[in-house]
């Protein structure tokens, strides 16, 4: 048997060698082509189309039909694009009337589908159709009814026929996009999540439901949808060209766009006309980027990339800075993050590693996991920075949409209202695009880099950016001077004289508290590196060791909602602490000042403080009870992020005296009942104080306001309690439009407050739980009636 085949092979092998341009007519049974270096093919009578093997990469071949007379031999049909044939494979019209592609060992690689038998002869026709003909000249099978991605003039597709884009420009495997006329009569373009999956999203439809039956590409070059009786229903491409002068084809390209092309039949260089394929008619859809939205799947481009219409109105898939192509040879395959992702350990040093750059008119639809009100772009940025899952935030008209990886349905288009804030790790390569300092100028440069298409301009910009980056770098390095680190505490130490100089002899007082005065200072003769220097009230009876132990405990705390201790001085009777400088002062000034801060800012602050406290209580190596939570001890940094100050000091200095020193401030103040009742002090005292702080944040007034006319409103928590039980929390925020329109949250926050200020400390939730209540991670149960309120009624 094998020798018989071998015999046939030996006879047939010479055929294809001389077969080129040989077969202009009908192919008889027994004809075959072999995949090898010779470009063997079967030609149409006019010599314009060829059927045969095309070679790809390393000796793999696939069956194709192409324009024979065009320089690049443009392919219009392919057979085994996803099952390539090795060298020596053979396509044969067998003597028993079948067409089979077999590998050199005789294994079948491809055959027409649906299965065809009883072939009498085959022919490559002049219009580009390869047909298998049975007895009585019946067409059994033709490539025109089994298209791949291209259709040609005179081709007619009936409903159910699928046209599938290829995988990439040079990879003829099935790609993600296809179109077909459904049984419902609608011509629809689909984006599939992956080529093998049929669950897909429609990105263009003809709206010819119940009447569409066939897609016709007529001789004059129009592609249109027609009813069964041939009536035109919808033109898909409208231009007509003289068939005698131009080759034509229409193709669903790998990028998902259906385009029609023409090519002059004669090379006519004297006319100056562009030789090659040029498109006519508008592409379908006109803007792919804004058309494709997938529920499952990546959208028009791959995951983590975004789609833009290029100069030539072709969609392009690009990676945001800090991301790189997964497969450098295929931009539609998506991007991966180039930097180590945000570590979720809540560490503030980790958070400081990240920054953002802006991409206007950009969005990744469907990738958001959370959205919240954000009054400003900065607050949106902050929200994303604080959240280790957040990779990108979209700021759009007061709302901040947080997106996590992988990002899908990315697009940059003038019609997109949102601005994307892309989070990136500063120390990675992308940092050269964004100097630490002047964000605005570098952002403009990023914009230009993205928009500009000229390589030269890009290189120039890169150079400029690099120089700017260098100049920031060199400024930074001037700051550094030998730093003294204490071995035991791991903290930077300062001499008293240094701090005296830093604060210009303790000139500018920032505030004073139970523990001492605070002065503004500047380190290392640099005029921007402000610090706050706290001069602790001297005390006796505490050893050096104890002091340093407490200081290092404070220094080890590392959370973005805690004011960071930078170093200290412990010299004789001088004990000073050096903190980061908080440029926006205390929450007390901010909250009770002349103008009422925005509701959403207040929400942010509440969450900031809750997170900071939760960290102090539970997460840091040494559990710390603050003991003195109040608006005066909450500080705001340059971007109005709230940070808790003075933590750890109660333990450090006041351990035995707190009760007397802090004293009672007004009715019910911020102090938990335990303080007055000589009961054990636990972290729940902070929960109580936080409850008071929270209601102050909600209402933007002090808890105790003796001059209020209505007696029931003098103590805010009591009033809030009454309002809650009367179902009238709206009264609490009556004059505050933003808060009133967010009344559900107001109610939730009031309920949270009522939980915090439970008389019995055991009833109060932990700060972790409170944080979850504020962030809506858990439902807030109905708070129990507190005995302290009953007694006050």
Residues tagged in the binding site annotation for ATP = 534
Residue 238 in the binding site for ligand NAG (CB under 6 A): no
Q: Does 26 bind ligand NAG (CB under 6 A)?
A: yes
Distance, in Å, from the CA atom of 568 to the CA atom of 563, rounded to the nearest integer, reads 14
Q: What is the 3-state secondary structure (H, E, C) of 642-664?
A: EEECCCCHHHHHCCCCHHHHHCC
Q: Does 222 bind ligand NAG (CB under 6 A)?
A: yes
Kindly tell me which of 117 and 340 has the beta carbon lying closer to ligand NAG: 340
The count of C-alpha atoms lying within 13 angstroms of the C-alpha of 774, restricted to the half-sphere facing its C-beta, is 28
Q: How far is the CB of 645 from ligand NAG (least distance, A)?
A: 20
Tell me how far, at minimum, the Cβ of 100 lies from ligand NAG, in Å: 21
**Beta carbons of 736 and 596 less than 8 angstroms apart:** yes
Helix (H) / strand (E) element for 767: namely: helix 767-774
Here the tokens at position 277 are: 């394929």
Examine residue 169 and tell whether it contacts ligand NAG (CB under 6 A): no
Residue 498's nearest CA partner among 534, 523, 472 is 523
Q: Does 349 bind ligand NAG (CB under 6 A)?
A: yes
C-beta atoms surrounding 310 within 10 Å = 10
Tokens 């993050």 belong to 337
Q: Report, in Å, the least distance between residue 279 CB and ligand NAG.
A: 4
- 604 vs 607: CA distance, rounded Å: 5
Could you give the angle at the alpha carbon of 649 between the alpha carbons of 643 and 654, nearest 5°?
145
Cα distance between residue 627 and residue 687, in whole Å:
10
Active site positions, annotated: 628
Q: Are strands 642-644 and 634-636 parallel, antiparallel or unpaired?
A: antiparallel
Report how far Cα 548 is from the mean position of its chain's Cα atoms: 45
Q: Kindly tell me which residue out of 103, 126, 338, 571 binds ligand NAG, with binding defined by CB under 6 A.
A: 338
**Residues 59 and 153: beta-carbon distance below 8 Å:** no
If binding is defined by CB under 6 A, does position 45 make contact with ligand NAG? yes
Task: Determine, following the binding rule CB under 6 A, whether residue 171 of this chain makes contact with ligand NAG.
Answer: yes
β-bridge mates for residue 612, sequence order = none
d(CA 155, CA 216): 6
Contact with ligand NAG (CB under 6 A) among 218, 376, 396, 486: 218
List the interface residues with ligand NAG, window 115-154 (CB under 6 A): 137
Q: Is 209 in the site for ligand NAG (CB under 6 A)?
A: no
Q: If binding is defined by CB under 6 A, does position 436 make contact with ligand NAG?
A: no
Contact 128, 73 (CB under 8 A): no
Q: Residue 483 is encoded by which pair of tokens?
A: 């730093």
The residue (of 353 and 448) whose beta carbon lies closer to ligand NAG is 353
492 lies in the binding site for ligand NAG (CB under 6 A): no
CB of 68 to ligand NAG, least distance (A): 10
Rounded to whole angstroms, how far apart are CA atoms 202 and 650? 64
Q: How far apart are CA 690 and CA 613, in angstroms?
A: 9
Q: For ligand NAG, which residue of 34, 78, 143, 281 counts as binding (CB under 6 A)?
A: 281
Q: Please identify, among the stretches 215-223, 583-591, 678-686, 778-786, the one whose residues bind ligand NAG according to the rule CB under 6 A.
A: 215-223
Residue 728 touching ligand NAG (CB under 6 A): no
179 three-state secondary structure: strand
Residue closer to ligand NAG, measured from CB, 177 or 724: 177
Tokens of 302: 């791959």
Residues making up the annotated binding site are: 534
Under rule CB under 6 A, residue 313 binds ligand NAG: yes
Binding mask 259-278 for ligand NAG (x = CB under 6 A): -------x-x-xx-------
Enter the tokens of residue 407: 């990002």
Q: 571: which residues sit within 8 A by CB, 6+ positions away?
A: 495, 496
Among 232, 459, 483, 785, binds ligand NAG (CB under 6 A): 232
Task: Report in angstroms how near the CB of residue 321 gets to ligand NAG at its nearest.
Answer: 12
CA–CA distance, 418 with 403 (Å, rounded to integer): 13
Find the shortest distance in angstroms from Cβ 69 to ligand NAG: 12
Among 15, 22, 38, 584, binds ligand NAG (CB under 6 A): 38
The least CB distance from residue 204 to ligand NAG, in Å, is 7
Phi, psi of 766, deg, nearest 5: -75, 165
Residues of this chain, 530-559, that bind ligand NAG according to CB under 6 A? 558
DSSP annotation of 682 = -
What H or E segment, with its residue span, contains residue 203? strand 201-205
x/- map, 692-711, ligand NAG, by CB under 6 A: --------------------
- Draw the binding track, 651-690, toward ligand NAG (x: CB under 6 A; -: no contact): ----------------------------------------
Which of residues 205 and 574 has its CB atom nearest to ligand NAG in the complex? 205
173 part of the interface to ligand NAG, by CB under 6 A: yes
Site of interaction with ligand NAG (CB under 6 A): 25-26, 37-39, 45, 56-57, 73, 137, 167, 171, 173, 205-207, 211, 218-220, 222, 224, 227, 229, 231-232, 266, 268, 270-271, 279-283, 312-313, 338-340, 343, 345, 347, 349-350, 353, 427-429, 558
């Amino acid at each position: 048997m094998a020798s018989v085949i071998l015999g046939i092979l030996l006879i047939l092998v010479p055929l294809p060698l001389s077969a080129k341009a040989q077969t202009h007519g009908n192919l008889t049974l027994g004809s075959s082509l072999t995949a090898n270096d010779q470009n063997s093919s079967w030609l149409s009578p006019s010599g314009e189309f060829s059927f045969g093997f095309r070679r790809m990469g390393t000796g793999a071949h696939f069956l194709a039909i192409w324009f024979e007379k065009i320089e690049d031999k443009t392919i219009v049909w392919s057979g085994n694009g996803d099952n390539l044939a090795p060298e020596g494979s053979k396509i044969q019209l067998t003597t028993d009337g079948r067409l089979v592609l077999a590998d050199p060992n005789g294994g079948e690689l491809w055959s027409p589908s649906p299965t065809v038998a009883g072939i009498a002869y085959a022919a490559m026709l002049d219009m580009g159709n390869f047909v298998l003909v049975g007895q009585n000249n019946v067409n059994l099978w033709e490539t025109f009814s089994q298209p791949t991605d291209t259709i040609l003039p005179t081709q007619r597709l009936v409903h159910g026929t699928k046209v599938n884009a290829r995988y990439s420009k040079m990879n003829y495997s099935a790609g993600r996009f296809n179109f077909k006329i459904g049984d419902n009569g609608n011509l629809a373009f689909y984006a599939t999540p992956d080529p093998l999956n049929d669950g897909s999203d429609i990105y263009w439809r003809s709206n010819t439901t119940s009447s569409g039956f066939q897609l016709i590409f007529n001789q004059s070059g129009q592609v249109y949808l027609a009813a069964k009786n041939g009536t035109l229903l919808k033109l898909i491409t409208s231009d007509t060209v003289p068939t005698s002068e131009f080759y034509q084809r229409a193709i669903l390209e790998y990028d998902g766009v259906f385009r029609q092309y023409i090519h002059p039949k004669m090379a006519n260089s004297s006319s100056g006309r562009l030789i090659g394929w040029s498109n006519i008619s508008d592409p379908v859809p006109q803007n792919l980027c804004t058309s494709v939205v997938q529920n499952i799947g990546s959208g028009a481009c791959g995951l983590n990339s975004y789609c833009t219409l290029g100069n030539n109105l072709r969609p392009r898939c690009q990676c945001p800075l800090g991301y790189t192509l997964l497969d450098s040879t295929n931009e539609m395959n998506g991007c991966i993050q180039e930097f180590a992702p945000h570590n979720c350990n809540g560490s503030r040093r980790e958070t400081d590693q990240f920054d953002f750059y802006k991409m206007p008119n950009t969005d990744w639809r469907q990738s958001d996991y959370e959205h919240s009100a954000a009054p400003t772009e900065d607050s949106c940025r902050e929200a994303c920075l604080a959240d280790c899952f957040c990779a990108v935030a979209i700021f759009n008209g007061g709302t901040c949409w947080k997106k996590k990886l992988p990002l899908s349905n990315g697009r940059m288009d003038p019609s997109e209202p949102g601005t994307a804030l892309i989070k990136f790790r500063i120390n990675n390569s992308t940092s050269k695009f964004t100097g630490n300092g002047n964000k605005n100028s570098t952002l403009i440069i990023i914009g230009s880099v993205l928009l500009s298409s000229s390589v030269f301009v890009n290189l120039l910009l890169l150079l400029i950016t690099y120089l700017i980056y260098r100049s920031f770098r060199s400024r930074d390095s001037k700051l550094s001077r030998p730093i003294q680190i204490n071995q035991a505490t791991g903290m930077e130490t300062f001499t008293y004289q240094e701090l005296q100089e830093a604060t210009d002899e303790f000139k500018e007082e920032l505030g004073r508290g139970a523990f001492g005065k605070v002065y503004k200072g500047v380190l290392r003769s640099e005029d921007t590196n402000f610090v706050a220097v706290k001069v602790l009230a001297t005390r006796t009876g505490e050893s050096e060791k104890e002091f340093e132990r407490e200081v290092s405990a404070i220094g080890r705390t590392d959370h973005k909602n805690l004011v960071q201790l930078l170093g200290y001085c412990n010299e004789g009777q001088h004990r000073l602490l050096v903190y980061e400088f908080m440029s926006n002062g205390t929450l007390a000034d901010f909250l009770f000042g002349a103008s009422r801060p925005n509701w959403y800012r207040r929400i942010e602050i509440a969450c900031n403080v809750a997170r900071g406290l939760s960290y102090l209580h539970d997460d840091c190596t040494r559990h710390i009870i603050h003991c003195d939570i109040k608006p005066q001890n909450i500080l705001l940094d340059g971007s109005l992020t709230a940070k808790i100050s003075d933590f750890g000091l109660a333990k450090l200095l006041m351990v035995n005296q707190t009760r007397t020193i802090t004293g009672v401030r007004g009715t019910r103040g911020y102090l938990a009942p335990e303080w007055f009742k000589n009961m054990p002090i636990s972290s729940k005292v902070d929960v109580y104080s936080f409850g008071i702080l929270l209601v102050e944040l909600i209402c933007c007034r002090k808890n105790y306001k003796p001059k209020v006319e209505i007696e029931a409103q003098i103590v805010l928590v009591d009033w809030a309690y009454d309002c809650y039980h009367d179902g009238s929390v709206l009264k609490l925020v009556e004059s505050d439009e933003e808060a009133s329109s967010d009344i559900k949250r107001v109610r939730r926050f009031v309920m949270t407050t009522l939980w915090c200020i439970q008389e019995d400390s055991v009833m109060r939730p932990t700060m972790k739980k409170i944080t979850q209540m504020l962030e809506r991670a858990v439902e807030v149960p109905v708070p129990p009636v507190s005995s302290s309120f009953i007694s006050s009624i």
